[in-house]
Copies of this chain bind each other. A is one copy, B any other.
Amino acid sequence: MKRIAIDMDEVIADFHPKMLATWNAHFSQQLTLDELNLFNLHQDDPDKLVEIFELVGDPTFFADLGVIADSQRVIARLSEHYEIFITTAAMEVPTSFNAKFQWLKQHFPAIKPSNIVFCGNKSIINADYMIDDNVINFANFCGEGILYSAPHNRHVTGYRRVENWQEIETLLL
């Protein structure tokens, strides 16, 4: 049985709208979803990045993220044909461990805890496919990276790209 490693934030957990609301409230701005790009911050405004990590470091930040449309239904179908692991870079925000674990328990109760991975450098993951929005995770990955579209990765080429979970369903089933 082939194995799929699935990221959390921006792939099954709707991180971006919560981040946008938190950003706009904190900095008194009115950015839109497409205007907010945290991936440029380390170059453009490193001080702001430190502030962002403090906001995201609130142990409850990840507790109430929405669920990305169709991810529950499609993952349930995929699990009949593939081994499913959730692989999230939780080590970047260690205060998120408990909220992320509880979120998965609540929204994806069929995924066993033994198939959840909190990691950092995802080259440690041994899988056939990795569905992720962050292209850095594909660099030394042993399988095929499938890029889940997000505002911050629109410019990226070189990987199969999916816009939503319906496209993953078509691609892998």
Contacts and interface: CB of A to CB of B under 8 A. Distances in A.
Interface of A: 3, 5, 85, 87, 89-92, 94, 97-98, 101, 112-121, 123-127, 142
Nearest to A141: B126
A127 B121 CA distance: 13
Contacts of A116: 91, 119-120
A18 B91 CA distance: 26
A118 B117 contact: yes
A51 to B, nearest CB: 20
Contacts of A114: 89, 91-92, 119-121
8 contacts: A3-B124, A85-B124, A87-B124, A89-B114, A92-B113, A97-B98, A115-B124, A124-B126
A112 to B, nearest CB: 7
